[in-house]
Structure 1
Amino acid sequence: MHVAIIGGASTIGTTVAYTLSGLAPSVDVSLVDINEGAAWAHGTDIEHASYHFAHAPGAVPGHDTESVGTIRSATPDELGALDPDLLVFNAAAPQPDDATDPSAREAELERNLSIVRDVAEDLQSLDPTPLLVVTNPIDRLVYHFYTLLEWPRRCFIGYSLSETARMVDGIADLVDGHRNDVYCPMMGEHGEHMVPVFSRARVDGDPLDVTESERTELMEYVRDIPFDIAEERGVDETSRWVTSAGVSRVVRAMAAADDDVPIDGTPAGVEPAGDDWTFCLSTPLDGEYGFEDVSLGVPVDLDADGVAAIHEWDLADDESAELRRAYESVRADLP
C-alpha cells in the first residue's frame, strides 16, 4: 500500500509517517508538501529511525528487506505521478494564537477551504482514490472534497477517532477500569456536536450504565481535554500522538482488508459480537439516518477502496436527537 500524506511535513503528517514506519513497515509513504526541504528532511530521518524498529527485540512482522516500505518526499505538482492507494489530507493554514479556545474552530473552515480547493485541483488528474481528511473542520471539508472531485462517495473519509480514545479514557476513569477494555463509538460531528453512543458502550463486554450527570461530565472531559493539552503544550504540537495513532489504525485497517472481508474496526484477536468494536468515521451520506448532502461520523466498514458499508444502527431517542443537531450544525456551513 502506498499512502501519500498531503501536508506531509506538518506535525501530524510526520508523526503519522513515523507511526506507520513502526507499526505498518510494509506501507510506502510519500510526504507531499510545498516545503520540499522539510519533507525530505523528515522522510530521511524517519527512514533512519526505521532501522531501529526493524532490529528491536520483538519487531513487528514486515521488517524483512523484501517487504519493507519506503519513506519519500514529493511536491504537490508530483501527486499525479505518485499513483497512491490512499491520500491523507493534512494540509492546513497556520494555527492562530487563540486556537486553544474551543470557539476558534468556527474560523477553521474559512482558513482551510482555499487549501482544499487548491488540492482538489491537484487531485483532478488522479483516478478516484480513497481520501482520508484529517484537517479541521473535518466533516465540512470531507463534503467539500466530495463536491469538488465528484469521485464515488466511498472514497471520502473523515478522521474522527480521537474523540473515541478520549471518551474511553474518561469512561475507564469513571468505572475504575482499563481503557483497553472499553468501547464507546462516537458518531456525529468531529467537534462540538459529537454523539457518544452510550447505548452501545461496553466495559469488558458488559453494557455501560451511566447517569445523566456522568454523561455530562464525560462530554465535558472529551470536549475540553484537547484544548487543555494544547494550552499546556502549544498549538503547533496539536494532538499529534492520539491523531497519528488513530490515522495509522485506519490505514492499517484498509491495508489489511480483503475484497471479500472488509474491516469493521474489531481489534486483532477479539471476536466481534454483532457491531461491537465497529468504528465511526465521517463520510458523505445519501439517505442514511435520514440525512443527505452532508458528511457525518457514522459506523462504517472499510476496504482498500474506502468505505465498504455504512451501518444504520437503532439509536436511543436522545442519541437520534443529538445526531440531528450534529447534522444541522454541519449542514448550516455547507452550500
Structure 2
Amino acid sequence: MNKISIIGAGRVGETTAQILAEEELCREVALYDVREDAAAGIALDIFQTAPFFEFDCRLRGSHDPAVIAGSDLVVVTAGFPRKPGMSRSDVLAANVRIIDEVTDHILAHAPDAIVLVVSNPVDTLTYRIAQRTGWPRQRVFGQAGVLDASRMAAFIAEETGFSALDITTLVLGGHGDTMVPMPRYCTINGVPVSHFIAPDRLAAIIDRTRQGGAEILALRKNSSAYDAPAAAVAAMVDAISNNRRRLMPCVAMLDGEYGERDIAMGVPCVLDEQGLAQVVELELNDEERANFTQSAASVRADIGRLAELDH
C-alpha cells in the first residue's frame, strides 16, 4: 500500500502507527486527531525511531482531516475509551457522534479507501459507517475477533505451557460479553485443545476471553488495552497490504450468513488486497448456534439504539 491513515491518535492509534511503520506495510502513515498538534507530535516521535528500527516509512500527523487524502486504507480508532465498570455499549452514545463526523471526513477526503473500524462498540459502529457510506462490506469491516482470538490463545498458552505460536483459536459474535469463543475449532499444532485442557478449565478460559478487555482495564485503571488491539489491527493490515488471503475473524455486514442480515458481527472472513473478500459460513452445533443468536440479539439492541440517538 502507498498510504494508510489512522483516525484517532490515542494509545491504540499511536501504537498501531508504530507497528505499521516498523513493519513497513505502506509508504506513508498519516495520523489525524482533533487535538491540535497531538497527531503531528506523535508522528514526529515515531519517525525518530526509524534509525533504530530500520524503516523508511514516512509519518505525518495533523488536526486537519485533509491529511487522510489519498488513503488506500483508513483505520478508525477515534472515540471515548471505556472506564472501569463500563461496557463497550456504554460508550455508544458518545462515540456515534464522533464516528458520524469521522465518516464524513472519509467520504470527503478518502472516498476510495478501505475502512477498518476499531472504535467501540465496534460491531455497531461498523454497521453505522457501512450504512452512512453505502459502501459494500468488502470495504467496511471491523476488528474484534482477531484480538479476542489472540487473547484466548494467550490464555491457553498460559494454561498449558505450550508455545503461543502453535495455538490456533476462533472467536465469533459481537465484541462484548456475549462473544462466542469456539473451542471446537481451537487446536495446539492441529491437536484439539480439549485433549490438553479439562472441560472446567476450558470453560474458565472461555469466560476469561469474554472479559479479556475488562480485565486489562481493571488492572490498568487509567487506560484500556492498546498493545494487543494495535497488534491485531497490524495483522489484518498485513493480510490486506500483502494480499495474503488470510482467514481471520472480522466484524462483517451479514447478508443471510448464519441466518442473520442487516447486522455487523464477528465471523470468519478472507482478507486480501481488495479488503474483505469473503465471509466463510461454518456449520454451528446447537450450543454454538444458541450463543451466536444471543450475541446477535445484543448487537441488534445497540443498533436499535442508533435510531433513538438520531432524534
> How high is the TM-score relative to the length of structure 2?
0.90
Unaligned runs of 5+ in 1: 55-62, 265-277
- Structure 2 CA distance for aligned equivalents of residues 25 and 122 of structure 1: 23
Corresponding residue for 2:309? none
Corresponding residue for 1:50? 50
Corresponding residue for 1:253? 239
* 1:289 aligned partner, one-letter code: Y
Corresponding residue for 1:109? 92
CA RMSD of aligned residues (A): 1.8
Shift in Å, 1:105: 2.5
Q: Is the 8 A contact 2:149 2:169 kept in 1?
A: yes
Percent sequence identity is 28
- Structure 2 CA distance for aligned equivalents of residues 128 and 284 of structure 1: 19
* 1:147 aligned partner, one-letter code: Q
Corresponding residue for 2:147? 162
Shift in Å, 1:319: 1.2
Q: Is the 8 A contact 2:29 2:57 kept in 1?
A: yes
Unaligned runs of 5+ in 2: 305-311
> How high is the TM-score relative to the length of structure 1?
0.84
- Structure 2 CA distance for aligned equivalents of residues 50 and 157 of structure 1: 30
Q: Deviations over 1:206-256 (max 9, x none)?
A: 1222554233201222233432322332333x2111111111111111110
Shift in Å, 1:170: 1.6
Moved over 4 A (4+): none
Query: Counterparts in 2 of 1:1-335, with a 5 A limit?
Result: 1=1, 2-7=3-8, 9-24=9-24, 26-54=26-54, 63=55, 68-79=56-67, 82-93=69-80, 95=81, 99-101=83-85, 103-125=86-108, 126-160=110-144, 161-209=146-194, 211-236=198-223, 238-257=224-243, 262-264=244-246, 278-335=247-304
Shift in Å, 1:199: 1.6
Q: Is the 8 A contact 2:74 2:113 kept in 1?
A: yes
Shift in Å, 1:328: 1.0
Does the residue aligned with 1:309 lie in a helix, a strand or coil? strand
Shift in Å, 1:141: 0.3
State the aligned residue count. 299
* 2:158 aligned partner, one-letter code: D
* 1:235 aligned partner, one-letter code: N
**1:198 and 1:27, CA in 2 relative to 1: closer, same or farther beyond 3 A?**
farther
Corresponding residue for 1:271? none
Q: Is the 8 A contact 1:3 1:28 kept in 2?
A: yes
Q: Is the 8 A contact 2:25 2:238 kept in 1?
A: no
Does the residue aligned with 1:88 lie in a helix, a strand or coil? strand
- Structure 1 CA distance for aligned equivalents of residues 147 and 87 of structure 2: 19
More displaced stretch, 19-28 vs 281-290: 19-28
